[in-house]
Amino acid sequence: MAVFVAPSPALAALTSEDNTAVAASAPSDTSQKISVAGATVYFVDNGDTWYVKDTAADGRSAVVLWENYINFERARIGTCANKLGNGTWGKCAKDYAESSGIRAMACTYDFSAGVRGSCSDWEVVKGEIIP
C-alpha cells in the first residue's frame, strides 16, 4: 500500500509501516475520533490501537495515515487500511513510545485503481508534535 502524501525531505529516510486492518468490533473508547466522508477513525491510547470503519459503499477503503513524533521529531509514519468493506470495523495494533506524540488523518482510498479519495485534516491524537 502506498502512502498518500508526498514525503517532505525529512520523511524521505522513513519507511512507512503500512498495515491491513483485521476485523474488529467498535472501540469502547471513542474520545479520539477523526472522520471524513467514507471513513471514521479512532485512536485508543491504551493499547496503541487504531480502529478504522468504512462508512460508505463507494468502492474505496477507509484508511488512517499516522505520524509518530519523539522529542518533536518525526520518528515513524504509517497507515492502517480497512479493506473489509462498507459498514465494517477493522483495527491495527501499534506500539508507540509512551512519551511520543501522534497525529493522523482519516482518508478513503481505491486500491484497485490506486486513487486516493478524500482526507480529513491532520489531527493530534496524543501528546505534542511541535514544540
How is the chain split into domains, by residue range?
A: 17-126
Choose among 47, 116, 43, 52: nearest CA to 84: 52
Per-residue model confidence as pLDDT tens digits over 61-105: 999 999 999 999 999 999 999 999 999 999 999 999 999 999 999
Per-residue model confidence as pLDDT tens digits over 44-54: 999 999 999 99
Alpha carbon separation from 82 to 11, 16, 50, 121 (Å, rounded): 24, 17, 10, 19
According to CATH, the topology of domain 17-126 is Immunoglobulin-like (2.60.40)
pTM of the model: 0.89
